[in-house]
Each structure stands twice: as C-alpha cells, then as structure tokens.
C-alpha cells in the first residue's frame, strides 16, 4: 500500500456493481426504434474522451491504460499474477481501481469531485502497467500525476492553480481572477460558453476552445485590462465528428418530424460549434411529447466547472416506462394547482406554467461522469421561461440496489420501515424535486435593453421584508453567471426544499399512490421521506473537506443545509444523538408527529428566502444565507469521523452495448462485476477511439 496517501483518497474496495437492467424494455421496441436508440447510444459513447479531458490531464491516458491492460489479458486478470509478478490481492486492487476510473470517467469521483488513487503502491502499479510496451509508455507519461496528493488542494476539483480542473488546459499560471475577468467579458459580449474550455497563453492572452468538428479561428474579445481572448474552433474535433455522424444516422431513423429536426440541429451544433443550434435542438426536444425513446446529448450541466458556467458532456438514451409514467402524468396535470401553494407571491412565478413531459425512463445508455436519478432540462434560462422544460425519472437507476448496501445512522426501530419504503419515498422526492422544484420560479430580468419581464416602475414586493425588490438580472446575465460557483448547489437546495415542502400534502401523496389504506401508507412514506433527507444531510459530511472547508458535491451540500434547517426547527424535531465518545452509535431521531407543525414550517421559511433571492438576482443575501446554512460547526465536524468510518462505496453501473448484425440491432449485456464493467468498455473501443500513444 502507498503509505503516503491519506486513507480517504484510496480507491474504493468492494464497491457494489449493478447492471442497468434494460433487456425487457428494449425487446418491446420496433426495429426502427431500436435503430434510432442504437445511433444515439453510439453518439453518446463517442463523447467519452471529452468527459475524460474535462476532469484531469491524466484521466484520458489512465482510461487507455486500464483498457489496454484488460485487453492484453482478455479480462482474465489472474494472468497478471504471472505476467507482472504481483499477488492476487494486488491484482484485485488494480481491477477495482480500473473499474472506478471507468465508472467515473476519470480519477476524480463524479460524486464529490475528490481524487482517488490506487490501493497498490507505485512500484506494483508500474509492474502491471509494464506488461506491454504500449501500456508502459502510457504509464511513463502519467506515473507522477496518478499518485500526486500534495499540495492537498490538488485532490479536489476547483479553481486552478490551487485545485484541479480540466476546463483550463495547459494553463499552469491561470488564476481565479483571470477566469472571472474572462467570464465578465463573455457576459458583456453575450457569448455562451457551456461547450468551451479556456486556455491561457504565455503572454497572458487567452484562447476560448470551442468543441466542434470544424477547426479554425473565430471572433476575438478584449478584456478591460487590454488582454485578448481568441476563439479557436476544433476542441475535441474527432469526437465531435464521430458524434455528428452517429446523430446523422439517428436523424435517418427518426420516428417523427420533430425528432428529425432535433437531430439536424444536434449535428449542426457539433459540426459548427454552435450553441444556438443546440438551443434550437432543445426547442424541438421539448415539443417531442410522449416519445417511446427519450434522449438528450450535449454540454448540459455546469457542476464541475469552478466558475459554474462551462458544462460537462453527457449523452443518454432511454426507453419510456409507460406504466410508471402514468403517475408522473397525473402530477403534471395537477401541477398548475400545486405551484400556487408554494410560499411566494405570483409575481415571483412564471406567468404561465408550460406543462412539461414527465416520463419514467429505463436507461439504455447514460455516458457522462456519473448517472443521476432524475433530470430537469434544458438549462437555458430563456427556453425554460418561454417554452418550458422536460422532466425524467430514471427508473432502473432509482431501483438499482446492491445486496451489500447497509443503512447507517437510522434507529433500529425504523430500519425495517426505512428499507421497505426508501424506494417509494425517493421516487416521491425526485418527482417533486424535478417537476415542481426545478420547474418552478421566475427570474426577474431585463430581457433586452429597456425591456423587462416585470413592472420596473412598481417592482414585486418581497414577502421577506415587505419592500419592493431592488435587484434583477441585467441583459446578458444568467442565473449561473450571477451566482457563479454557488448557483448549482443553491438551485439543488431550492428544488429539494420544494420537495420537502410539498410531500406532506395528502393530495400529492395520493397521486403517487399513497393513502392511509395502501400498503405503503401515506404517513409512513412522508416520514421516511423526511428521515431519508435528514440522513442524506448527515452523510453529506463525507463531501466536506475539513482542511479546505470546501464542499465537493452540489447535491450533498444542499442536503446538509436542509438537515441544518430541520435541526433549527426546534422542539427536538430532529436530533443527532450519541453516547459513545467516538460517536460510533450516532443516530438520527426525527419526531414524525412534528413534521407538519415544525419541519414544514422551517422548510417554508428557508425555501421562501432561497427563492426570493434567486428570483431577484440578490446574490449578496443569497450567498450569505447559503454559506451560513452550509457552514460546518465544531459539533458537526466531530460527527464527520463517524460518517467517514461508516461510508460505503458508491454503486458502479454496468451498461449494455448495441450492435447491428445482419441488419438487426442486437443488445449485448454484461455481468454485474468489475470485469463485466471493464469488458463493456473494451467493446466500445470502435466508437470511443483507440489510445493515442506517442
């Protein structure tokens, strides 16, 4: 073992591996539907190297090394004992590390943004990496970076140079101030940057690297200090070309005219580097109501860019589960009735709620750094405000459970109920979070010079202080650009609070099939929903770094703040109890009789503040509130050790592949093992691209 590596940075061991079960749903598709899904799946996997490059410089070669070693031994890793003169245990730890790299598409955890390093020593890894000339050469180029854990900041994603980021390649001297100055210039010039990276040149100027098949230079922008940013097309050129080709295949197999137009715009966006074309694809996507095959692809979420503006690539395709979708359909139909129940005046809500598609999906392919349980997109503010959005719940992700999972910090008397109802409670939370959380709210904006989407002369009155709001989003500003690095977690918190605020509503519980008479009784599901959120808030301490005081995961920071909200409700609504000096018996107690009287009231007050500050672009008060609610005091920091001792590795998902044989699309599945996960990636090499060893 590498003794110099802190234990919390060591790769997972005995991580649960789950297969994304899809065959029964895939088999119901027509030949054309299968072909459409096949091409989008291929396009999604074609973006693999894009994701790897967005994480760290060593992620892509490390990915190649793992697969090259696996191919050399035909995934029979026991051969490495003889080939590399290492022990069986060392081989197991190499395989576990390799599987984790593939599951996260990089050597930083997709959930937590923290680096992980092999559990075997440097010399042992070098022996395994030396089994072929190709792998030895790859290893030579990254051997120092893979084990590098000092300075400590480098083990977390964040602003360079203190932290790691793949969004600022070949820029060793770039600073947070440089990044912010460029960001201001982009806002001033109305430049969309989701599909870009930023490189600093030796003289201090910059290049904005645009993801596109086409290459060449574009416009140049000037910073206030006179430095320049030149637009350079062709970042990830080969990958964008492969994506565009597969999406052209999907266009030809499209099942309706809307899908055909959507694919046309995707192709245009990836070939030309046009985010306007991508926005157009999303307009068509929103209009593709009730499809059998659901999909999205592009640079979508901005969680991992420290500036909160550049997005990581993701591509996915899934089959609609019509039975579960009926439940969400009922929620959508009634949404117009539930939104006015939220704790803010109508002036802070969209003028008209655009009823979105809300579907339960069974994932065929989800290629990115990780797989969420639910999605609400597009993220483009102007499209959300005018056309709306779509919600999806990923059923086979939600339901994937490993037998080795343990429930920690829950009172023994609640364990059986928690285990039985955690699924229904989470589905309730995800449904409300996506549709009525992310789907609610208005941004007060100056949409163009002198044009406002609210009465500028008589601004809305804030329910917080009874005074008209004084701030709003100016032309060119977005929610992300104004709230910056705080935006992603803040919005997740707002959406989670909406779920906690609405889930006590008996009418909503009934929509999800829970009444006093059902097996999953309404009050029990409500109790487990609140208890599950409180537990998630405690587990979130894993993602808070006590040395840097930095949060590493947007959703977990949000859940921690909601636990703080519960604790602040008073009257022992929620308590964290321990009698042992080392907190080994730490237990969450939540008084279910006080959910509506205390918990709901506390959530209402917190949610109202979060929402009003967001809607009115009050970044000062919003950031102050959120920093306060996510600060970790001495007591909570003390509980972190207990959380770390009981932490469990995150699930790793094995996804199927598709291929065309004799004109028919065939599904190929793999075992739910680390070896199965690795084999599935080996068989994607044609679309992912082989390693480039120089």
Q: In sequence order, what DSSP letters do the residues of 221-255 get, joined into one string? A: EE-TTS-EEEEEEEETHHHHHHHHHHHHHHHHT-S
Quick one: pLDDT band at residue 356, thresholds 50, 70, 90? Answer: confident
Note the pLDDT tens digit of each residue in 183-233.
999 999 999 999 999 999 999 999 999 999 999 999 999 999 999 999 999
Four-residue CA torsion sign, 431, 433, 436, 442: negative
Is 398 a residue whose pLDDT tops 90?
A: no
Determine the Cα–Cα distance for residues 228 and 222; give it in Å rounded to an integer: 4
Give me the residues paired with residue 207 across strands.
199, 230
Quick one: pLDDT band at residue 693, thresholds 50, 70, 90? Answer: low
Is 681 a residue whose pLDDT tops 60?
A: yes
Is 532 a residue whose pLDDT tops 80?
A: yes
Question: Is 393 in contact with 361 (CB distance < 8 Å)?
Answer: yes
Quick one: pLDDT band at residue 691, thresholds 50, 70, 90? Answer: low
Is 324 a residue whose pLDDT tops 90?
A: no
List residues with catalytic annotation.
434
Is 264 a residue whose pLDDT tops 90?
A: yes
Selected residue with higher pLDDT from 549 and 575: 575
Note the pLDDT tens digit of each residue in 550-609.
898 889 999 999 999 999 999 999 999 999 999 999 999 999 999 999 999 999 999 999
- Region 454-465 average pLDDT: 97
Is 2 a residue whose pLDDT tops 60?
A: no
Return binding residues for Zn(2+).
433, 438, 492
> What percentage of the chain exceeds 70 in pLDDT?
99
pLDDT (0 to 100) of residue 690 = 63
Lowest mean pLDDT, pick from 109-123, 130-144, 206-220, 350-364:
350-364
Name the strands in the sheet holding 216-222, side by side, starting at the edge strand that comes first in the sequence.
196-200, 206-211, 228-235, 216-222
- Region 498-516 average pLDDT: 97
Which domains, from first to last, does the chain contain? 176-235 (3.30.70.2600), 406-646 (no CATH)
pLDDT (0 to 100) of residue 141 = 98
pLDDT (0 to 100) of residue 381 = 85
320 phi and psi, to 5 degrees? -75, 130
Is 1 a residue whose pLDDT tops 60?
A: no
Return binding residues.
433, 438, 492
Quick one: pLDDT band at residue 96, thresholds 50, 70, 90? Answer: very high
Is 547 a residue whose pLDDT tops 90?
A: no
Determine the Cα–Cα distance for residues 581 and 308; give it in Å rounded to an integer: 40
Quick check: helix, strand or coil at residue 111?
coil
pTM of the complete model: 0.86
Question: Is 17 in contact with 217 (CB distance < 8 Å)?
Answer: no
pLDDT (0 to 100) of residue 452 = 97
């Amino acid at each position: 073992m590498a003794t110099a590596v802190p234990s919390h940075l060591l790769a997972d061991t005995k991580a649960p591996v789950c297969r994304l079960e899809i065959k029964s749903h895939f088999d119901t598709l027509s030949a054309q539907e299968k072909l459409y899904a096949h091409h989008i799946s291929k396009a999604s996997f074609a973006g693999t190297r894009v994701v790897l490059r967005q994480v760290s410089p060593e992620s892509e070669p490390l990915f190649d090394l793992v697969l090259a070693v696996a191919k050399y031994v035909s995934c029979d890793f026991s051969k490495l004992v003889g080939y590399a003169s290492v022990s069986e245990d060392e081989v197991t730890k190499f395989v576990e590390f390799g599987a984790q790299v593939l599951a996260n598409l990089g050597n930083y955890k997709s959930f937590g943004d923290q680096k992980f390093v092999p559990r075997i020593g440097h010399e042992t890894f070098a022996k395994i990496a030396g089994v072929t000339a190709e792998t030895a050469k790859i290893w030579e180029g990254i051997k120092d970076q893979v084990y590098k854990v000092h300075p400590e900041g480098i083990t977390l994603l964040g602003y360079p140079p203190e932290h790691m980021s793949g969004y600022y390649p070949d820029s060793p001297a770039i600073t947070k101030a440089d990044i912010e100055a460029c960001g201001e210039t982009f806002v001033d010039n109305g430049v969309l940057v989701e599909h870009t990276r930023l490189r600093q040149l030796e003289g201090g100027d910059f290049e904005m690297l645009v993801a596109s098949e086409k290459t060449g230079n574009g416009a140049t922008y000037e910073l206030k200090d006179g430095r320049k940013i030149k637009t350079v097309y062709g970042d990830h050129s080969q990958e964008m070309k492969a994506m565009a080709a597969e999406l052209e295949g999907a266009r030809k197999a499209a099942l309706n005219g809307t899908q055909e137009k959507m694919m046309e715009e995707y192709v245009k966006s990836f070939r030309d580097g046009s985010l306007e074309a991508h926005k157009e694809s999303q307009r068509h996507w929103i209009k593709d109501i009730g499809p059998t095959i659901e999909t999205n692809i592009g640079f979508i979420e901005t969680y991992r860019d420290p500036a909160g503006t550049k997005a990581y690539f993701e591509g996915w395709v899934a089959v609609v589960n019509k039975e579960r979708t009926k439940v969400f359909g009922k929620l959508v139909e009634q949404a117009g009735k539930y939104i006015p129940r939220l704790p803010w005046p109508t002036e802070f809500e969209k003028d008209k709620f655009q009823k979105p598609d809300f579907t339960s999906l069974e994932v065929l392919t989800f290629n990115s750094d990780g797989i969420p349980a639910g999605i609400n997109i597009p993220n483009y503010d102007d499209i959300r405000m005018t056309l709306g959005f779509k919600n999806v719940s990923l059923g086979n992700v939600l339901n994937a459970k490993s037998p080795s999972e343990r429930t920690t910090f829950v009172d023994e008397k609640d364990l059986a109920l928690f285990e039985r109802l955690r699924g229904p409670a989470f589905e309730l939370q995800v449904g409300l979070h996506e549709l009525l959380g992310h789907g609610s709210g208005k941004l007060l904006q100056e949409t163009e010079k002198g044009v406002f989407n609210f009465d500028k002369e008589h601004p809305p009155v804030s329910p917080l202080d009874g005074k008209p709001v004084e701030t709003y989003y100016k032309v060119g500003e977005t929610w992300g650009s104004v709230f910056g690095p705080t935006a992603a977690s803040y919005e997740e918190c707002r959406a989670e609070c909406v779920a906690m605020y609405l889930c006590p509503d008996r009418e909503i519980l009934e929509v999800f099939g829970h009444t006093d008479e059902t097996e999953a009784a309404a009050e029990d599901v409500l109790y487990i929903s609140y208890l599950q959120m409180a537990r998630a808030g405690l587990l979130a301490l894993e993602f808070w770094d006590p040395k840097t005081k930095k949060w590493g995961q947007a959703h977990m920071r949000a859940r921690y703040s909601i636990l703080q909200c519960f604790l602040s409700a008073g009257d022992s609504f929620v308590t964290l109890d321990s009698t042992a000096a080392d907190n080994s018996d730490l237990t969450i107690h939540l008084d279910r009789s006080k959910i509506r009287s205390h918990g709901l009231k506390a959530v209402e007050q917190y949610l109202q503040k979060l929402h009003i500050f967001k809607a009115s672009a009050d970044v000062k008060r919003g950031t102050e509130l959120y920093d306060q609610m996510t600060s970790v005091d001495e007591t909570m920091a003390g509980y972190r050790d207990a959380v770390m001792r009981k932490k469990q590795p995150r699930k790793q998902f094995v996804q199927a592949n598709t291929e065309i044989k004799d004109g028919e699309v065939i599904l190929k599945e793999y075992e739910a093992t680390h070896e199965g996960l690795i084999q599935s990636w080996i068989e994607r090499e044609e679309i992912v691209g082989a390693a480039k060893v120089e």
